[in-house]
Amino acid sequence: MGHYSLMYRSLDSEKIVGTVETLCRRIEERFPDAGLAQVCRELLIIAGESQKRSAWIAKPQKTLRLIIGALVVIIVVGLVLILANSTLPGRGFDFASLVQVSEAGINVCILLGAAILFLVTTEVRIKRGRALKAIHELRALAHVIDMHQLTKDPERLLARGTETPSSPKRNLSAPELTRYLDYCSEMLSLIGKLAAMYVQKFDDPVALDAVNDVEELTTGLSRKIWQKIMILNSDLVRARG
């Protein structure tokens, strides 16, 4: 029972890739000459890459951790050896010398602490960099999808606007345009799912903020698309009535 519960609490990367692949076939079968099919194929490539990248990010990097652990041990042991082999002046410290030694010791501890912190956070920073780069690709692809639906204006299709020589060509019927816009919305939704894969097992606030930005972007773009779909659907219902 617990196994099945966990299945529905996390994204399945293989199912997401399969969904993108099916969507590509649907677009190619209905709009074989449309540039949207090529964009979906690019999304499929990115989905495959996202599957591998997110798996790498979620996996503990044991070799890197061993190297970092060894460096931290070397730093700590070196500091201990230096302190153990140091000799105190025979006459002791006066107040001025004590202040200077204390200040120097504090500075050394701060520098060593910063070095250790830098080493300890190396894995997180590497994973964060890879995640942010991948999320940036998804954000860029979302804008590309938006460009493909930008000129698909239902008002022009329904002959409510004035045509000009530079107006985009109207080569889709109302049902076809509805399906085209629906495909755009599905692709945007899948981009949001692919972005969420990167933080599913990587609890990093910077990466999480980037994913939230992508999800807000895709949601806003989908909202604009669905406004167009609602206009087309209401006109179709009116025509049938």
Fold of 2-59+128-162+170-240: Glutathione S-transferase Yfyf (Class Pi); Chain A, domain 2 (1.20.1050)
Q: Give residue 5's pLDDT.
A: 45
Instruction: Tell me the C-alpha distance between 113 and 126, whole Å.
Output: 20
* 179 contacts 152 by C-beta, under 8 angstroms: no
User: Under 8 Å CB-to-CB from 33, ≥6 apart: which residues?
Assistant: none
Distances (CA, A) of 86 to 58, 89, 108, 112, 154: 45, 10, 15, 18, 82
Instruction: Tell me the C-alpha distance between 62 and 133, whole Å.
Output: 23
Place of tokens 């698909």: 152
- Domain ranges in the chain are 2-59+128-162+170-240, 62-120
Q: Give residue 4's pLDDT.
A: 41
The predicted model scores a pTM of 0.78
Nearest to 199 by CA among 101, 130, 108, 107: 130
Q: Give residue 87's pLDDT.
A: 58
To the nearest 10 degrees (0 to 180), the angle between helices 122-150 and 35-58 is 170
Q: How do the pLDDT tens digits run along the chain, 241 residues long?
A: 444 444 556 788 899 999 999 999 999 999 988 899 999 999 999 999 999 999 999 888 888 888 888 888 887 787 777 666 655 555 555 556 556 656 766 776 788 778 788 888 888 999 999 999 999 999 999 999 999 998 887 776 666 556 666 566 667 788 888 999 999 999 999 999 999 999 998 889 999 999 999 999 999 999 999 999 888 887 665 655 5
* 11 contacts 58 by C-beta, under 8 angstroms: no
Q: Give residue 111's pLDDT.
A: 80
Q: How many CA within 13 A on the CB side of residue 162?
A: 1
Q: Give residue 235's pLDDT.
A: 65
Q: Give residue 1's pLDDT.
A: 43
